[in-house]
């Protein structure tokens, strides 16, 4: 049919299919090879046929500056997925930084995408190591990397705040070892549930620490445990957020994450790092055992001193009696009566001396009990320690030093902003009641 009079002439144009075909030919000619591309996996899904569809992104200061779709066909995915998991201990998943060898492809219907042909696991492990090093350097520059280690361990570690997944095998091992200890010690442990792997694990652990901090006086220390895992599984414990919270936490933090090789950053800043949850439980039990042994030693030395003292006094009285028995008997009757009375008075005096000494020993025993650390604290005294040692002189402190003051109920962790040293003639005295366990 011809063009009707007055109808505008049809403009030259491409159909969408023709235009996409032209784009495809240009892209094919411009990108004939495969290229190594570094990116982050934002999303990853596999269908029933085994094909893997990935969303790759590039971020700068948490803002996405580039994004593209990628595909690993089933045949390649079986090979590449196995290769990556064997090297890293984890499958490809969102949140990972990866190095992929990809072909640039354009489909008339599905548009631009990358066809993945290879993956380099060493790059992913190297990126994790680089980020870990950056976090360690930041903590050092801020001067907080050793703060938690400077806190003294509690005298009797009984009230434990535990951060773990409630379904983790390591948590079950921990509380069974703790509650079934051979000495019959009783521990109060409260679980603060948290994710222990994955993208959300770091914030989950930080939230648990904040919750414990709200009731810090209710606990002696914090334990973070899990049941082991691959290098990538433990990557969340290398983040700055979790490390900074542990370093600045007002209670000692003990880690038992369950790995044998490299330490995580969380391990490095924690007060004490142990390999497994079971090892953490044994550490706490040994602390209780050390405290009990010190108390038993004090009791034994007190009893031994009392027994020696009484034995010596009895020996002195016996020797005195023997000397009196050898006095000459060639005395007049009057002198004999006086001597008898003298002996009677002397025996009464000796009996009185013995009773007085026994009473004195009992008083010493009561005084020793009166000096029990818990009783001293209840009378209003306090114990201040710096780096685990009892503080006796303000001159031993530097500005910004971290000190802990123990009261009858609870502890106070302080940072020194100012100090006044003792003037001449002024004397301060601090009793070192009992040291903390090591």
Q: Are residues 80 and 175 in the same domain?
A: no
Q: Give me the pLDDT at residue 53, please.
A: 93
Mean pLDDT along residues 74-88: 87
Residues 260 and 312 in one domain: no
How far apart CA 396 and CA 421 sit, in angstroms, is 9
Q: What is the mean pLDDT of residues 48-70?
A: 89
* Residue 61 pLDDT level (bands cut at 50, 70, 90): confident
pLDDT, mean of residues 146-154: 92
What pLDDT score does 373 carry?
A: 67
**pLDDT at residue number 340:** 75
Write the CB contacts of 387 (distance below 8 Å, at least 6 apart in sequence). Answer: 150, 152
- What is the residue-averaged pLDDT of the chain? 82
Ordered DSSP codes for 183-205: T----EEEEEE---SSTTHHHHH
Identify whether residues 20 and 56 lie together within a single domain.
yes
Q: Is the pLDDT of residue 68 over 80?
A: yes
Q: What is the DSSP letter of 422?
A: P
- CATH number of the domain at 59, please: 2.40.50.140
Last residue of a domain, one of 288, 303, 324: 288
pLDDT at 421: 63
Q: What is the pLDDT of residues 159-172, one digit of tens each?
A: 999 999 888 878 88
User: Could you tell me the CA-to-CA distances from 63 to 25, 42, 56, 156 in Å, in that order?
Assistant: 32, 13, 14, 49
Radius of gyration of the chain (CA): 39
Residues 397 and 350 placed together within one structural domain of the fold: no
In a domain? residue 408: yes
Closest CA to 208 of 223, 192, 195, 221: 192
Q: What is the pLDDT of residue 325?
A: 67
Mean pLDDT for the stretch of residues 200-211: 91
Q: How far apart are CA 113 and CA 216, in angstroms?
A: 53
pLDDT at 261: 63
Does 156 share its domain with 238?
yes
Closest CA to 276 of 223, 222, 225: 225
Residue 259 lies in a domain: yes
Domain, as residue range, for 187: 143-288
* pLDDT tens per residue across span 22-54: 888 888 778 888 899 989 888 999 998 889 999
pLDDT at 435: 42
The verdict on 305 and 283 lying in the same domain is no
CA distance 122 to 38: 12
* pLDDT for the residue numbered 45: 92
Are 151 and 283 part of one and the same domain? yes
Residues 274 and 152 in one domain: yes
Residue 167 lies in a domain: yes
Of 260, 288, 316, the one marking the end of a domain is 288
Instruction: Give the end-to-end CA distance of the chain in Å, rounded to a whole number.
Output: 100
**Nearest partner of 267 among 148, 386, 380, 128, judged by Cα:** 148
The pLDDT score that the predictor gives to residue 250 is 94
Classify residue 9: in a domain, yes or no.
Answer: no
132, pLDDT greater than 60: yes
pLDDT tens digits along 255-277: 998 666 667 899 999 999 998 89
Looking at the fold, whether 384 and 323 belong to one and the same domain comes out as: no
Residues 305 and 342 in one domain: yes
Q: Are residues 331 and 229 in the same domain?
A: no
Number of domain units in the chain: 4
- CA 37, 39, 41, 42 torsion-angle sign: negative
pLDDT, position 131:
84
Domain boundary among 288, 321, 350: 288
Here the CATH number for the domain that contains residue 210 is 3.40.50.10550
Instruction: Look at residue 11 and tell me if it is in a domain.
Output: no
Tell me, yes or no, whether 264 and 382 share the same domain.
no
Q: Residue 388 above 80 pLDDT?
A: no
Label the pairing between strands 63-72 and 52-60.
antiparallel
Residue 300 lies in a domain: yes
What pLDDT, in 10s, does the model give residues 302-360?
888 888 888 888 888 888 777 766 655 444 555 667 767 877 877 777 787 778 877 77
Q: DSSP H helical segments within 69-194, as ranges? A: 74-88, 121-142, 169-179
CA 243 from chain centre, in angstroms, equals 10
Question: Residue 57 falls within a domain, yes or no?
Answer: yes
**pLDDT value of position 326:** 63
d(CA 101, CA 118): 5
Length of the chain: 438
pLDDT digits (tens, 9 = 90+) for 390-434: 777 887 788 888 888 888 788 888 888 887 765 544 444 444 444
**For 373, what's the count of Cα atoms within 13 Å in the CB-facing half-sphere?**
18
Which residues on neighbouring strands pair with residue 34, listed in sequence order?
A: 103
The b/e string for 154-176 (b: 16+ C-beta within 10 A; e otherwise) is bbbbbbbbbbbbeebebbebbbe
Q: Report, as an integer, the average pLDDT of 189-207.
A: 88
CA distances from 291 to 132, 181, 182, 251 (A): 38, 15, 16, 19
* 154-163, 219-228, 425-434: least confident range: 425-434
> Percentage of the chain with pLDDT > 90?
26
Can you give the pLDDT at residue 150? 94
The rounded distance, in Å, linking the Cα atoms of 162 and 277 is 11
pLDDT of residue 320: 79
- Does residue 3 fall inside a structural domain? no
């Amino acid at each position: 049919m011809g063009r009707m009079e007055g109808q505008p002439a049809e403009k030259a144009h491409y159909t969408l299919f023709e235009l996409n075909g032209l784009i495809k030919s240009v892209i094919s000619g411009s990108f004939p090879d495969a290229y190594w591309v570094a990116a982050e996996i934002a999303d990853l899904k596999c269908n029933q046929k085994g094909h893997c569809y990935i969303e790759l992104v590039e971020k700068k200061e948490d803002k996405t500056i580039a994004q593209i779709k990628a595909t690993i066909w089933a045949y390649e995915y079986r090979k590449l997925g196995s290769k990556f998991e064997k090297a890293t201990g984890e499958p490809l998943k969102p949140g990972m930084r990866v190095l992929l060898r990809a072909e640039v492809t354009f489909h008339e219907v599905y548009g631009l995408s990358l066809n993945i042909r290879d993956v380099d696991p060493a790059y992913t492990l190297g990126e994790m190591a680089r980020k870990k090093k950056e976090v360690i350097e930041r903590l050092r520059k801020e001067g907080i990397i050793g703060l938690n280690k400077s806190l003294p361990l509690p005298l009797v570690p009984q009230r434990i705040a535990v951060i773990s997944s409630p379904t983790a095998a390591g948590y079950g091992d921990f509380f069974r070892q703790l509650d079934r200890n051979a000495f019959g010690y009783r521990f109060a442990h409260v679980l603060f549930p948290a994710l222990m792997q994955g993208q959300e694990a770091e914030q989950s652990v930080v939230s648990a620490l904040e919750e414990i901090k709200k009731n810090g006086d209710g606990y002696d220390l914090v334990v973070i445990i899990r049941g082991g895992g691959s290098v990538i599984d433990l990557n969340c414990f290398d983040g700055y957020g979790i490390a900074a919270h542990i370093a600045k936490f007002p209670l000692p933090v003990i880690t038992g994450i369950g790995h044998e090789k490299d330490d995580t950053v969380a391990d490095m800043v924690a007060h004490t790092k142990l390999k497994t949850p079971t090892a953490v439980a044994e550490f706490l039990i040994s602390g209780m055992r050390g405290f009990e042994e010190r108390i038993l030693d004090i009791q034994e030395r007190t009893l031994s001193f009392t027994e020696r003292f009484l034995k010596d006094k009895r020996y002195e009285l016996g020797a005195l009696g023997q000397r009196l028995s050898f006095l000459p008997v060639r005395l007049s009757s009057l002198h004999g009566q006086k001597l008898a009375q003298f002996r009677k008075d002397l025996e009464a005096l000796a009996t009185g001396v013995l009773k007085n000494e026994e009473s004195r020993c009992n008083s010493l025993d009561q005084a020793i009990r009166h000096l029990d650390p818990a009783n001293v604290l209840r009378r209003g005294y306090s114990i201040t320690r710096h780096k685990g040692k009892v503080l006796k002189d303000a001159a031993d402190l530097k500005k910004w030093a971290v000190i802990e003051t123990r009261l009858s109920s609870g502890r106070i962790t302080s940072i020194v902003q100012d100090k006044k040293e003792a003037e001449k003639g002024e004397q301060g005295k601090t009793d070192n009641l009992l040291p903390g366990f090591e």
